[in-house]
A and B are shown apart, each in its own frame.
Chain A
Protein backbone atom coordinates (compact mmCIF):
# COMPACT_ATOMS: atom_id res chain seq x y z
CA UNK A 1 0.00 0.00 0.00
CA UNK A 2 2.90 2.34 -0.51
CA UNK A 3 4.41 4.57 -3.14
CA UNK A 4 6.24 2.59 -5.78
CA UNK A 5 4.80 -0.79 -4.80
CA UNK A 6 1.42 -0.57 -6.49
CA UNK A 7 -0.64 1.88 -8.48
CA UNK A 8 -2.59 4.09 -6.07
CA UNK A 9 -6.28 3.26 -6.65
CA UNK A 10 -7.39 6.74 -5.57
CA UNK A 11 -5.12 8.22 -8.25
CA UNK A 12 -6.71 6.04 -10.90
CA UNK A 13 -10.22 7.02 -9.75
CA UNK A 14 -9.36 10.75 -9.71
CA UNK A 15 -7.55 10.63 -13.05
CA UNK A 16 -10.52 8.70 -14.48
CA UNK A 17 -12.94 11.37 -13.22
CA UNK A 18 -10.69 14.10 -14.63
CA UNK A 19 -10.60 12.37 -18.01
CA UNK A 20 -14.39 11.90 -18.05
CA UNK A 21 -14.83 15.59 -17.23
CA UNK A 22 -12.32 16.51 -19.95
CA UNK A 23 -14.22 14.55 -22.57
CA UNK A 24 -17.57 16.09 -21.54
CA UNK A 25 -16.27 19.67 -21.50
CA UNK A 26 -14.35 19.18 -24.73
CA UNK A 27 -17.53 18.22 -26.55
CA UNK A 28 -19.64 20.82 -24.72
CA UNK A 29 -17.37 23.68 -25.81
CA UNK A 30 -16.23 22.38 -29.15
CA UNK A 31 -18.27 24.78 -31.28
CA UNK A 32 -15.92 27.39 -32.80
CA UNK A 33 -17.09 29.50 -35.68
CA UNK A 34 -14.13 31.87 -35.80
CA UNK A 35 -10.43 31.67 -35.08
CA UNK A 36 -11.00 34.11 -32.17
CA UNK A 37 -13.31 31.44 -30.67
CA UNK A 38 -10.67 28.76 -31.19
CA UNK A 39 -7.57 30.63 -29.98
CA UNK A 40 -9.10 33.05 -27.47
CA UNK A 41 -12.40 31.54 -26.27
CA UNK A 42 -14.26 34.44 -27.92
CA UNK A 43 -12.44 36.93 -25.59
CA UNK A 44 -15.11 36.48 -22.91
CA UNK A 45 -13.30 34.63 -20.13
CA UNK A 46 -14.28 35.77 -16.63
CA UNK A 47 -11.36 37.09 -14.52
CA UNK A 48 -11.46 34.39 -11.83
CA UNK A 49 -11.76 31.51 -14.32
CA UNK A 50 -8.99 33.07 -16.41
CA UNK A 51 -6.81 33.45 -13.30
CA UNK A 52 -7.29 29.78 -12.38
CA UNK A 53 -6.46 28.77 -15.96
CA UNK A 54 -3.36 31.02 -16.03
CA UNK A 55 -2.20 29.63 -12.68
CA UNK A 56 -2.75 26.13 -13.99
CA UNK A 57 -0.80 26.97 -17.17
CA UNK A 58 2.00 28.37 -15.02
CA UNK A 59 2.17 25.72 -12.29
CA UNK A 60 3.71 22.97 -14.34
CA UNK A 61 4.97 19.64 -13.05
CA UNK A 62 8.26 21.46 -12.44
CA UNK A 63 6.49 23.82 -10.02
CA UNK A 64 4.18 21.23 -8.48
CA UNK A 65 6.93 18.71 -7.81
CA UNK A 66 10.03 20.85 -8.26
CA UNK A 67 9.66 23.78 -5.83
CA UNK A 68 9.02 21.53 -2.83
CA UNK A 69 11.73 19.19 -4.16
CA UNK A 70 14.31 21.98 -4.38
CA UNK A 71 13.33 23.16 -0.87
CA UNK A 72 13.73 19.57 0.39
CA UNK A 73 17.18 19.28 -1.17
CA UNK A 74 18.59 22.78 -0.69
CA UNK A 75 16.58 24.31 2.17
CA UNK A 76 16.31 28.10 2.24
CA UNK A 77 17.92 28.54 -1.19
CA UNK A 78 15.05 26.58 -2.77
CA UNK A 79 12.69 29.37 -1.70
CA UNK A 80 14.42 31.78 -4.13
CA UNK A 81 12.77 29.86 -6.99
CA UNK A 82 9.34 30.34 -5.43
CA UNK A 83 10.05 34.05 -4.92
CA UNK A 84 11.21 34.51 -8.55
CA UNK A 85 8.23 32.65 -10.01
CA UNK A 86 5.79 34.64 -7.86
CA UNK A 87 7.19 38.10 -8.56
CA UNK A 88 7.21 37.30 -12.30
CA UNK A 89 3.65 38.53 -12.56
CA UNK A 90 4.37 42.02 -11.26
CA UNK A 91 6.13 43.29 -14.39
CA UNK A 92 3.32 41.76 -16.43
CA UNK A 93 0.69 43.58 -14.35
CA UNK A 94 2.49 46.92 -14.37
CA UNK A 95 3.57 47.14 -17.99
CA UNK A 96 1.81 44.66 -20.24
CA UNK A 97 -1.48 43.06 -19.14
CA UNK A 98 -3.87 45.91 -19.88
CA UNK A 99 -2.20 47.46 -22.99
CA UNK A 100 -1.76 44.07 -24.67
CA UNK A 101 -5.41 43.23 -24.13
CA UNK A 102 -6.46 46.64 -25.45
CA UNK A 103 -4.37 46.06 -28.55
CA UNK A 104 -6.60 43.02 -29.02
CA UNK A 105 -4.84 40.68 -31.39
CA UNK A 106 -4.26 36.92 -31.15
CA UNK A 107 -0.62 36.20 -30.42
CA UNK A 108 2.66 37.82 -29.36
CA UNK A 109 4.05 37.83 -32.95
CA UNK A 110 0.81 39.64 -33.91
CA UNK A 111 1.79 42.49 -31.63
CA UNK A 112 5.35 42.89 -32.91
CA UNK A 113 4.24 42.55 -36.51
CA UNK A 114 1.30 44.97 -36.37
CA UNK A 115 2.96 47.51 -34.11
CA UNK A 116 5.90 47.82 -36.55
CA UNK A 117 4.30 46.64 -39.83
CA UNK A 118 7.00 44.06 -40.33
CA UNK A 119 6.70 40.51 -41.63
CA UNK A 120 10.29 39.90 -40.56
CA UNK A 121 9.38 40.84 -36.98
CA UNK A 122 6.44 38.40 -37.16
CA UNK A 123 8.69 35.57 -38.36
CA UNK A 124 11.25 36.32 -35.63
CA UNK A 125 8.38 36.44 -33.13
CA UNK A 126 7.19 33.01 -34.31
CA UNK A 127 10.74 31.64 -33.94
CA UNK A 128 10.87 33.05 -30.40
CA UNK A 129 7.45 31.58 -29.49
CA UNK A 130 8.37 28.16 -30.87
CA UNK A 131 11.75 28.08 -29.15
CA UNK A 132 10.33 29.14 -25.79
CA UNK A 133 7.28 26.89 -25.95
CA UNK A 134 9.05 23.79 -27.25
CA UNK A 135 11.94 24.18 -24.80
CA UNK A 136 9.29 24.50 -22.09
CA UNK A 137 7.29 21.56 -23.41
CA UNK A 138 10.25 19.14 -23.59
CA UNK A 139 10.86 19.08 -19.80
CA UNK A 140 7.10 18.76 -19.22
CA UNK A 141 7.13 15.65 -21.38
CA UNK A 142 10.27 14.43 -19.64
CA UNK A 143 8.58 14.99 -16.24
CA UNK A 144 5.44 13.28 -17.53
CA UNK A 145 7.41 10.27 -18.72
CA UNK A 146 9.59 9.89 -15.62
CA UNK A 147 7.22 10.81 -12.82
CA UNK A 148 4.00 9.35 -14.18
CA UNK A 149 5.97 6.27 -15.18
CA UNK A 150 7.22 5.84 -11.62
CA UNK A 151 3.93 6.66 -9.94
CA UNK A 152 1.66 4.64 -12.23
CA UNK A 153 4.11 1.86 -13.10
CA UNK A 154 4.24 2.81 -16.78
CA UNK A 155 7.12 2.73 -19.25
CA UNK A 156 8.63 6.14 -20.07
CA UNK A 157 7.58 5.91 -23.73
CA UNK A 158 4.05 4.73 -22.87
CA UNK A 159 3.53 7.70 -20.51
CA UNK A 160 4.70 10.14 -23.19
CA UNK A 161 2.40 8.69 -25.86
CA UNK A 162 -0.66 8.54 -23.55
CA UNK A 163 -0.24 12.12 -22.32
CA UNK A 164 0.38 13.52 -25.82
CA UNK A 165 -2.69 11.81 -27.22
CA UNK A 166 -4.99 12.95 -24.40
CA UNK A 167 -3.91 16.59 -24.63
CA UNK A 168 -3.87 16.68 -28.43
CA UNK A 169 -7.43 15.37 -28.43
CA UNK A 170 -8.94 17.94 -26.12
CA UNK A 171 -6.98 20.96 -27.36
CA UNK A 172 -7.76 20.13 -31.00
CA UNK A 173 -11.44 19.45 -30.50
CA UNK A 174 -12.22 21.92 -27.75
CA UNK A 175 -9.93 24.89 -28.54
CA UNK A 176 -9.23 27.58 -25.94
CA UNK A 177 -12.69 27.44 -24.34
CA UNK A 178 -12.53 23.73 -23.42
CA UNK A 179 -8.83 24.10 -22.53
CA UNK A 180 -9.73 26.95 -20.14
CA UNK A 181 -12.50 24.97 -18.41
CA UNK A 182 -10.23 21.93 -18.10
CA UNK A 183 -7.39 24.08 -16.78
CA UNK A 184 -9.75 25.58 -14.18
CA UNK A 185 -10.56 22.09 -12.85
CA UNK A 186 -6.93 20.94 -13.13
CA UNK A 187 -5.78 23.98 -11.15
CA UNK A 188 -8.09 23.22 -8.24
CA UNK A 189 -6.99 19.58 -8.21
CA UNK A 190 -3.31 20.49 -8.05
CA UNK A 191 -3.88 23.34 -5.59
CA UNK A 192 -6.08 21.08 -3.43
CA UNK A 193 -3.34 18.44 -3.41
CA UNK A 194 -0.69 20.98 -2.31
CA UNK A 195 -3.07 22.43 0.30
CA UNK A 196 -3.70 19.00 1.84
CA UNK A 197 0.02 18.21 1.77
CA UNK A 198 0.64 21.29 3.91
CA UNK A 199 -2.58 21.13 5.97
CA UNK A 200 -2.12 17.58 7.30
CA UNK A 201 1.39 18.00 8.76
CA UNK A 202 0.66 21.57 9.93
CA UNK A 203 -2.83 21.27 11.40
CA UNK A 204 -3.27 17.56 12.08
CA UNK A 205 0.26 16.60 13.14
CA UNK A 206 1.10 20.03 14.56
CA UNK A 207 4.42 20.55 12.76
CA UNK A 208 4.45 24.33 12.44
CA UNK A 209 6.86 26.06 10.05
CA UNK A 210 8.63 27.54 13.12
CA UNK A 211 9.11 24.12 14.77
CA UNK A 212 10.24 22.49 11.53
CA UNK A 213 12.85 25.17 10.72
CA UNK A 214 13.99 25.30 14.37
CA UNK A 215 14.52 21.53 14.45
CA UNK A 216 16.37 21.37 11.13
CA UNK A 217 18.59 24.38 11.91
CA UNK A 218 19.90 22.73 15.09
CA UNK A 219 20.35 19.29 13.54
CA UNK A 220 23.88 18.14 12.85
CA UNK A 221 24.31 14.45 12.27
CA UNK A 222 24.45 11.64 9.73
CA UNK A 223 21.98 11.47 6.85
CA UNK A 224 19.71 8.42 7.48
CA UNK A 225 20.63 6.78 4.17
CA UNK A 226 23.93 8.13 2.90
CA UNK A 227 25.52 8.56 6.33
CA UNK A 228 27.09 11.87 5.27
CA UNK A 229 27.02 14.60 7.90
CA UNK A 230 24.02 16.88 7.36
CA UNK A 231 24.51 20.45 8.59
CA UNK A 232 21.06 21.87 9.36
CA UNK A 233 22.36 25.35 10.19
CA UNK A 234 23.90 25.69 6.71
CA UNK A 235 20.79 24.18 5.08
CA UNK A 236 18.51 26.80 6.65
CA UNK A 237 20.92 29.65 5.90
CA UNK A 238 21.35 31.55 2.60
CA UNK A 239 24.02 30.41 0.10
CA UNK A 240 23.88 26.69 0.98
CA UNK A 241 23.37 25.83 -2.68
CA UNK A 242 23.26 29.15 -4.58
CA UNK A 243 26.80 30.12 -3.72
CA UNK A 244 27.56 32.51 -6.59
CA UNK A 245 25.83 35.87 -6.11
CA UNK A 246 26.20 36.89 -9.78
CA UNK A 247 24.57 33.64 -10.95
CA UNK A 248 21.78 33.84 -8.42
CA UNK A 249 20.99 37.45 -9.26
CA UNK A 250 20.81 36.68 -12.98
CA UNK A 251 18.57 33.68 -12.22
CA UNK A 252 16.28 35.85 -10.08
CA UNK A 253 16.05 38.50 -12.85
CA UNK A 254 15.32 35.81 -15.47
CA UNK A 255 12.50 34.41 -13.32
CA UNK A 256 11.16 37.89 -12.43
CA UNK A 257 11.03 39.11 -16.02
CA UNK A 258 10.87 35.82 -17.94
CA UNK A 259 7.27 35.26 -16.91
CA UNK A 260 6.28 38.48 -18.68
CA UNK A 261 7.72 37.06 -21.89
CA UNK A 262 6.20 33.56 -21.77
CA UNK A 263 3.89 33.38 -24.80
CA UNK A 264 1.49 30.83 -23.28
CA UNK A 265 0.91 33.18 -20.34
CA UNK A 266 0.71 36.36 -22.45
CA UNK A 267 -1.84 34.87 -24.85
CA UNK A 268 -4.27 34.30 -21.98
CA UNK A 269 -4.56 38.06 -21.45
CA UNK A 270 -6.08 38.35 -24.92
CA UNK A 271 -8.93 36.15 -23.68
CA UNK A 272 -10.03 38.75 -21.07
CA UNK A 273 -13.02 40.94 -22.04
CA UNK A 274 -11.06 44.22 -21.58
CA UNK A 275 -7.93 45.85 -20.14
CA UNK A 276 -9.41 46.31 -16.66
CA UNK A 277 -10.41 42.64 -16.52
CA UNK A 278 -6.85 41.74 -17.56
CA UNK A 279 -5.47 43.65 -14.53
CA UNK A 280 -8.04 42.07 -12.19
CA UNK A 281 -7.03 38.66 -13.53
CA UNK A 282 -3.40 39.25 -12.47
CA UNK A 283 -4.50 40.07 -8.92
CA UNK A 284 -6.38 36.76 -8.66
CA UNK A 285 -3.34 34.98 -10.13
CA UNK A 286 -1.10 36.63 -7.49
CA UNK A 287 -3.35 35.24 -4.74
CA UNK A 288 -3.62 31.75 -6.21
CA UNK A 289 0.05 31.21 -7.00
CA UNK A 290 1.12 33.17 -3.90
CA UNK A 291 -0.63 30.67 -1.60
CA UNK A 292 0.84 27.85 -3.65
CA UNK A 293 4.39 29.21 -3.31
CA UNK A 294 3.99 29.76 0.44
CA UNK A 295 2.84 26.15 0.87
CA UNK A 296 5.30 24.28 -1.34
CA UNK A 297 8.60 25.32 0.36
CA UNK A 298 6.96 24.42 3.70
CA UNK A 299 6.15 20.96 2.28
CA UNK A 300 9.78 20.59 1.16
CA UNK A 301 11.01 21.50 4.66
CA UNK A 302 8.52 19.26 6.46
CA UNK A 303 9.62 16.30 4.30
CA UNK A 304 13.24 17.04 5.29
CA UNK A 305 12.06 17.23 8.96
CA UNK A 306 10.45 13.78 8.63
CA UNK A 307 13.39 12.35 6.68
CA UNK A 308 15.93 13.38 9.33
CA UNK A 309 13.87 11.57 11.99
CA UNK A 310 12.68 8.80 9.68
CA UNK A 311 13.04 6.03 12.25
CA UNK A 312 11.42 7.94 15.10
CA UNK A 313 8.61 9.18 12.86
CA UNK A 314 7.89 5.76 11.41
CA UNK A 315 8.82 6.57 7.81
CA UNK A 316 9.30 3.28 6.00
CA UNK A 317 12.81 2.39 4.81
CA UNK A 318 11.39 2.18 1.27
CA UNK A 319 10.19 5.82 1.33
CA UNK A 320 13.39 6.99 3.02
CA UNK A 321 15.48 5.39 0.28
CA UNK A 322 13.25 6.89 -2.42
CA UNK A 323 13.73 10.32 -0.88
CA UNK A 324 17.49 9.94 -0.75
CA UNK A 325 17.57 8.89 -4.42
CA UNK A 326 14.79 10.97 -6.00
CA UNK A 327 14.10 13.76 -3.51
CA UNK A 328 14.14 16.46 -6.17
CA UNK A 329 11.21 14.96 -8.08
CA UNK A 330 9.51 12.80 -5.51
CA UNK A 331 9.52 14.78 -2.25
CA UNK A 332 5.87 15.72 -2.91
CA UNK A 333 4.51 12.20 -3.54
CA UNK A 334 6.56 10.86 -0.62
CA UNK A 335 4.99 13.54 1.60
CA UNK A 336 1.58 12.38 0.35
CA UNK A 337 2.33 8.74 1.11
CA UNK A 338 3.88 9.42 4.52
CA UNK A 339 1.38 11.95 5.88
CA UNK A 340 -1.84 10.82 4.23
CA UNK A 341 -1.34 7.23 3.11
CA UNK A 342 -2.91 5.83 -0.03
CA UNK A 343 -5.64 8.49 -0.17
CA UNK A 344 -3.35 11.55 -0.14
CA UNK A 345 -0.83 9.84 -2.41
CA UNK A 346 -3.64 9.30 -4.92
CA UNK A 347 -4.64 12.97 -4.74
CA UNK A 348 -1.00 14.02 -5.21
CA UNK A 349 -0.53 11.77 -8.26
CA UNK A 350 -3.74 13.22 -9.75
CA UNK A 351 -2.36 16.71 -8.97
CA UNK A 352 0.89 15.96 -10.82
CA UNK A 353 -1.10 14.61 -13.75
CA UNK A 354 -3.29 17.75 -13.77
CA UNK A 355 -0.19 20.00 -13.68
CA UNK A 356 1.31 18.24 -16.71
CA UNK A 357 -1.93 18.26 -18.73
CA UNK A 358 -2.72 21.92 -18.09
CA UNK A 359 0.72 23.30 -18.92
CA UNK A 360 1.22 21.21 -22.05
CA UNK A 361 -2.30 22.13 -23.27
CA UNK A 362 -1.46 25.84 -22.89
CA UNK A 363 1.81 25.36 -24.77
CA UNK A 364 0.13 23.44 -27.60
CA UNK A 365 -2.50 26.12 -28.16
CA UNK A 366 0.18 28.83 -28.15
CA UNK A 367 2.41 27.01 -30.65
CA UNK A 368 -0.65 26.24 -32.78
CA UNK A 369 -1.41 29.99 -32.80
CA UNK A 370 2.14 30.81 -33.89
CA UNK A 371 2.09 28.22 -36.69
CA UNK A 372 -1.56 28.40 -37.77
CA UNK A 373 -2.38 32.07 -37.27
CA UNK A 374 1.00 33.78 -37.70
CA UNK A 375 2.72 31.63 -40.29
CA UNK A 376 0.07 29.86 -42.38
CA UNK A 377 -2.56 32.61 -42.36
CA UNK A 378 -0.69 35.89 -41.95
CA UNK A 379 2.49 35.10 -43.85
CA UNK A 380 1.33 32.67 -46.53
CA UNK A 381 -2.40 33.29 -47.03
CA UNK A 382 -3.82 36.46 -45.46
CA UNK A 383 -7.08 36.17 -47.44
CA UNK A 384 -7.98 32.76 -46.07
CA UNK A 385 -11.70 32.52 -45.15
CA UNK A 386 -12.64 32.26 -41.46
CA UNK A 387 -13.86 28.63 -41.61
CA UNK A 388 -10.57 27.49 -43.14
CA UNK A 389 -8.68 29.38 -40.43
CA UNK A 390 -10.39 27.27 -37.74
CA UNK A 391 -9.46 24.16 -39.72
CA UNK A 392 -5.83 25.36 -39.92
CA UNK A 393 -5.88 25.99 -36.15
CA UNK A 394 -7.01 22.39 -35.54
CA UNK A 395 -4.41 20.91 -37.90
CA UNK A 396 -1.68 23.01 -36.24
CA UNK A 397 -2.83 21.77 -32.80
CA UNK A 398 -2.65 18.12 -33.92
CA UNK A 399 0.81 18.74 -35.36
CA UNK A 400 2.18 20.43 -32.23
CA UNK A 401 0.44 17.98 -29.89
CA UNK A 402 1.93 14.96 -31.62
CA UNK A 403 5.29 16.71 -31.78
CA UNK A 404 5.27 16.22 -27.99
CA UNK A 405 6.00 12.51 -28.55
CA UNK A 406 9.37 12.87 -30.35
CA UNK A 407 10.11 15.87 -28.13
CA UNK A 408 9.62 13.67 -25.06
CA UNK A 409 11.92 10.98 -26.49
CA UNK A 410 14.55 13.61 -27.36
CA UNK A 411 14.34 15.18 -23.89
CA UNK A 412 14.94 11.86 -22.14
CA UNK A 413 18.70 12.37 -22.24
CA UNK A 414 18.67 16.15 -21.89
CA UNK A 415 19.23 18.20 -18.79
CA UNK A 416 15.92 19.69 -17.63
CA UNK A 417 17.68 22.73 -16.19
CA UNK A 418 19.22 23.61 -19.57
CA UNK A 419 15.86 23.39 -21.39
CA UNK A 420 13.90 25.40 -18.83
CA UNK A 421 16.82 27.82 -18.56
CA UNK A 422 16.70 28.39 -22.32
CA UNK A 423 12.93 28.96 -22.26
CA UNK A 424 13.10 31.51 -19.42
CA UNK A 425 16.26 33.13 -20.79
CA UNK A 426 14.73 33.69 -24.25
CA UNK A 427 11.45 34.89 -22.71
CA UNK A 428 13.16 37.37 -20.39
CA UNK A 429 15.70 38.58 -22.90
CA UNK A 430 13.55 38.69 -26.04
CA UNK A 431 9.84 39.26 -25.59
CA UNK A 432 9.90 41.18 -22.32
CA UNK A 433 12.11 44.06 -23.56
CA UNK A 434 10.53 44.15 -27.04
CA UNK A 435 6.99 44.21 -25.66
CA UNK A 436 7.68 46.73 -22.88
CA UNK A 437 9.48 49.14 -25.21
CA UNK A 438 6.91 48.57 -27.98
CA UNK A 439 4.04 49.39 -25.64
CA UNK A 440 5.56 52.40 -23.85
CA UNK A 441 8.08 54.03 -26.22
CA UNK A 442 6.49 55.64 -29.29
CA UNK A 443 9.91 56.30 -30.81
CA UNK A 444 10.82 52.63 -31.06
CA UNK A 445 11.42 51.72 -34.69
CA UNK A 446 11.04 48.57 -36.76
CA UNK A 447 14.84 48.17 -36.82
CA UNK A 448 14.89 48.49 -33.02
CA UNK A 449 12.29 45.72 -32.68
CA UNK A 450 14.17 43.40 -35.02
CA UNK A 451 17.48 44.16 -33.29
CA UNK A 452 15.84 43.36 -29.93
CA UNK A 453 14.42 40.05 -31.14
CA UNK A 454 17.73 38.98 -32.72
CA UNK A 455 19.80 40.04 -29.68
CA UNK A 456 17.52 38.18 -27.27
CA UNK A 457 17.33 34.92 -29.22
CA UNK A 458 20.97 34.70 -30.34
CA UNK A 459 22.35 36.12 -27.09
CA UNK A 460 20.52 33.50 -24.99
CA UNK A 461 21.61 30.64 -27.24
CA UNK A 462 25.20 31.84 -27.39
CA UNK A 463 25.47 32.29 -23.61
CA UNK A 464 23.88 28.94 -22.75
CA UNK A 465 25.24 26.67 -25.48
CA UNK A 466 28.63 28.40 -25.77
CA UNK A 467 29.04 28.91 -22.02
CA UNK A 468 32.37 27.08 -21.83
CA UNK A 469 33.91 29.33 -24.48
CA UNK A 470 33.17 32.51 -22.52
CA UNK A 471 35.41 34.10 -19.85
CA UNK A 472 34.41 33.12 -16.30
CA UNK A 473 32.86 36.49 -15.49
CA UNK A 474 30.43 36.06 -18.41
CA UNK A 475 29.40 32.51 -17.51
CA UNK A 476 25.94 32.36 -15.94
CA UNK A 477 23.77 29.42 -14.87
CA UNK A 478 20.88 31.38 -16.37
CA UNK A 479 21.93 34.36 -18.49
CA UNK A 480 18.37 35.66 -19.02
CA UNK A 481 18.75 38.71 -16.78
CA UNK A 482 22.12 39.60 -18.27
CA UNK A 483 21.08 39.28 -21.95
CA UNK A 484 17.86 41.21 -21.20
CA UNK A 485 19.93 44.33 -20.41
CA UNK A 486 21.67 44.03 -23.80
CA UNK A 487 18.34 43.64 -25.58
CA UNK A 488 17.05 46.87 -24.01
CA UNK A 489 20.28 48.55 -25.05
CA UNK A 490 20.07 47.18 -28.63
CA UNK A 491 16.47 48.38 -29.04
CA UNK A 492 17.34 51.83 -27.71
CA UNK A 493 20.55 52.26 -29.74
CA UNK A 494 19.13 51.03 -33.08
CA UNK A 495 15.89 53.04 -32.70
CA UNK A 496 17.83 56.19 -31.80
CA UNK A 497 20.16 55.66 -34.77
CA UNK A 498 17.26 55.11 -37.20
CA UNK A 499 15.43 58.15 -35.86
CA UNK A 500 18.56 60.28 -36.13
CA UNK A 501 19.14 59.26 -39.76
CA UNK A 502 15.56 59.07 -41.09
CA UNK A 503 13.67 61.37 -38.73
CA UNK A 504 9.88 60.82 -38.35
CA UNK A 505 9.95 58.46 -41.36
CA UNK A 506 11.71 55.88 -39.17
CA UNK A 507 8.54 55.52 -37.05
CA UNK A 508 5.53 53.42 -38.10
CA UNK A 509 3.00 55.69 -39.87
CA UNK A 510 0.18 54.83 -37.44
CA UNK A 511 2.16 55.12 -34.19
CA UNK A 512 -0.24 57.77 -32.85
CA UNK A 513 -3.32 55.59 -33.36
CA UNK A 514 -1.54 52.57 -31.87
CA UNK A 515 -0.54 54.58 -28.77
CA UNK A 516 -4.15 55.78 -28.46
CA UNK A 517 -5.37 52.15 -28.53
CA UNK A 518 -2.75 50.96 -26.05
CA UNK A 519 -3.15 53.78 -23.54
CA UNK A 520 -6.40 55.56 -24.26
CA UNK A 521 -9.85 54.67 -22.94
CA UNK A 522 -11.45 51.52 -24.31
CA UNK A 523 -14.46 51.84 -26.55
CA UNK A 524 -17.58 50.30 -25.00
Chain B
Protein backbone atom coordinates (compact mmCIF):
# COMPACT_ATOMS: atom_id res chain seq x y z
CA UNK B 1 0.00 0.00 0.00
CA UNK B 2 2.86 2.38 0.81
CA UNK B 3 4.17 1.94 -2.70
CA UNK B 4 0.76 2.68 -4.27
CA UNK B 5 0.38 5.64 -1.96
CA UNK B 6 3.76 6.99 -3.10
CA UNK B 7 2.77 6.51 -6.72
CA UNK B 8 -0.59 8.20 -6.19
CA UNK B 9 1.05 11.16 -4.47
CA UNK B 10 3.67 11.45 -7.20
CA UNK B 11 0.99 11.41 -9.93
CA UNK B 12 -1.16 13.91 -8.03
CA UNK B 13 1.77 16.26 -7.45
CA UNK B 14 2.61 16.11 -11.14
CA UNK B 15 -1.01 16.73 -12.22
CA UNK B 16 -1.43 19.61 -9.74
CA UNK B 17 2.00 21.00 -10.66
CA UNK B 18 0.75 21.44 -14.25
CA UNK B 19 -2.95 22.00 -13.57
CA UNK B 20 -2.80 24.70 -10.90
CA UNK B 21 -0.47 27.05 -12.86
CA UNK B 22 -2.43 26.37 -16.06
CA UNK B 23 -5.82 27.21 -14.54
CA UNK B 24 -4.26 30.20 -12.74
CA UNK B 25 -2.90 31.35 -16.12
CA UNK B 26 -6.30 31.00 -17.87
CA UNK B 27 -8.24 32.68 -15.06
CA UNK B 28 -5.43 35.28 -14.74
CA UNK B 29 -5.71 36.16 -18.45
CA UNK B 30 -9.46 36.41 -18.07
CA UNK B 31 -9.18 38.68 -15.00
CA UNK B 32 -6.49 40.80 -16.67
CA UNK B 33 -8.65 41.27 -19.75
CA UNK B 34 -11.73 42.16 -17.70
CA UNK B 35 -10.17 44.26 -14.96
CA UNK B 36 -7.79 46.14 -17.22
CA UNK B 37 -10.11 46.03 -20.24
CA UNK B 38 -9.67 49.64 -21.32
CA UNK B 39 -5.88 49.57 -21.20
CA UNK B 40 -5.49 46.14 -22.75
CA UNK B 41 -7.89 46.78 -25.62
CA UNK B 42 -5.66 49.65 -26.73
CA UNK B 43 -2.59 47.41 -26.92
CA UNK B 44 -1.90 45.41 -30.05
CA UNK B 45 0.69 43.03 -31.45
CA UNK B 46 1.12 42.67 -35.23
CA UNK B 47 -1.94 44.91 -35.68
CA UNK B 48 -4.15 42.48 -33.76
CA UNK B 49 -5.52 43.57 -30.35
CA UNK B 50 -3.67 41.95 -27.45
CA UNK B 51 -6.83 40.66 -25.75
CA UNK B 52 -7.83 38.86 -28.97
CA UNK B 53 -4.33 37.40 -29.24
CA UNK B 54 -4.52 36.05 -25.70
CA UNK B 55 -8.07 34.69 -25.56
CA UNK B 56 -8.87 33.83 -29.18
CA UNK B 57 -5.53 32.59 -30.48
CA UNK B 58 -2.53 32.14 -28.18
CA UNK B 59 -4.22 30.03 -25.52
CA UNK B 60 -4.72 27.17 -27.99
CA UNK B 61 -1.11 26.44 -29.09
CA UNK B 62 0.11 27.04 -25.52
CA UNK B 63 -2.37 24.42 -24.26
CA UNK B 64 -1.53 21.94 -27.01
CA UNK B 65 2.22 22.18 -26.41
CA UNK B 66 1.93 21.98 -22.62
CA UNK B 67 -0.38 18.96 -22.59
CA UNK B 68 1.41 17.00 -25.29
CA UNK B 69 4.44 17.29 -23.02
CA UNK B 70 2.29 16.34 -20.00
CA UNK B 71 0.87 13.20 -21.63
CA UNK B 72 4.36 12.11 -22.74
CA UNK B 73 5.68 12.56 -19.19
CA UNK B 74 2.64 10.94 -17.52
CA UNK B 75 2.80 7.90 -19.80
CA UNK B 76 6.58 7.63 -19.30
CA UNK B 77 6.02 7.79 -15.54
CA UNK B 78 3.56 4.94 -15.85
CA UNK B 79 5.98 2.82 -17.93
CA UNK B 80 8.73 3.43 -15.39
CA UNK B 81 6.37 2.37 -12.63
CA UNK B 82 5.29 -0.78 -14.47
CA UNK B 83 8.96 -1.74 -15.03
CA UNK B 84 9.72 -1.15 -11.35
CA UNK B 85 6.79 -3.27 -10.18
CA UNK B 86 7.73 -6.04 -12.65
CA UNK B 87 11.34 -5.94 -11.40
CA UNK B 88 10.17 -6.51 -7.86
Contact = CB atoms under 8 A, between A and B. Distances in A.
Interface in B5-40: 5, 7-8, 11-12, 15, 18-19, 22-23, 26-27, 30-31, 33-35, 37-38, 40
Interface string A46-83: 00000000000000000000000000000010011011
Contacts of B27: 249, 252
A297 B56 contact: yes
Given A236-B41, A238-B34, A276-B75, A294 B26 contact: no
A290 B60 contact: yes
A330 B83 CA distance: 55
A83 B26 contact: yes
Contact of B49 (A93, A213, A519): A213
Nearest to A102: B78
A455 to B, nearest CB: 22
B23 A256 contact: yes
Interface string A189-213: 0000000000000000000011001
Nearest to A294: B60
Nearest to A214: B47
| Size class of the contact patch on chain A | 35 or more
Contacts of A249: 27, 30-31
Interface stretch (A280-288, A315-323, A371-379, A486-494): A280-288
A80 B30 contact: yes
Interface string A288-332: 001101100110000000000000000000000000000000000
Contact of B52 (A76, A276, A516): A76
A275 B81 CA distance: 14
Contacts of B31: 249
Interface residues of B, number: 46
Dominant SS among interface residues on chain A: helix
A86 interface: yes
Dominant SS among interface residues on chain B: helix
Given A91-B19, A521-B81, A238 B37 contact: yes
A210 B47 CA distance: 7
A83 B59 contact: yes
Given A512-B4, A521-B82, A239 B37 contact: yes
Q: Which of B31, B52, B81 counts the most A-chain CB atoms under 10 A from its CB?
A: B52
B7 A519 contact: yes
B67 A286 contact: yes
Nearest to A242: B34
Given A214-B47, A440-B12, A286 B52 contact: no
Contacts of A95: 15, 19
B49 A236 contact: yes
A80 B11 CA distance: 31
A80 B81 CA distance: 39
Contacts of B81: 520-521
Contacts of A291: 60
A517 to B, nearest CB: 9
6 contacts: A87-B23, A90-B19, A90-B67, A237-B37, A275-B78, A519-B11
Given A86-B60, A94-B19, A516-B1, 13 more contacts: A83-B55, A90-B67, A93-B71, A94-B15, A210-B47, A213-B48, A238-B34, A245-B35, A248-B30, A249-B27, A290-B63, A294-B60, A521-B81
The 9 closest A-B pairs by CB, nearest first: A521-B82, A238-B37, A237-B41, A94-B15, A519-B8, A94-B19, A290-B60, A210-B48, A279-B71
Interface of A: 76, 79-80, 82-83, 86-87, 90-91, 93-95, 98, 209-210, 213-214, 217, 233, 236-239, 242, 245, 248-249, 252, 256, 275-276, 279-280, 282-283, 286-287, 290-291, 293-294, 297-298, 440, 442, 512, 515-516, 518-522
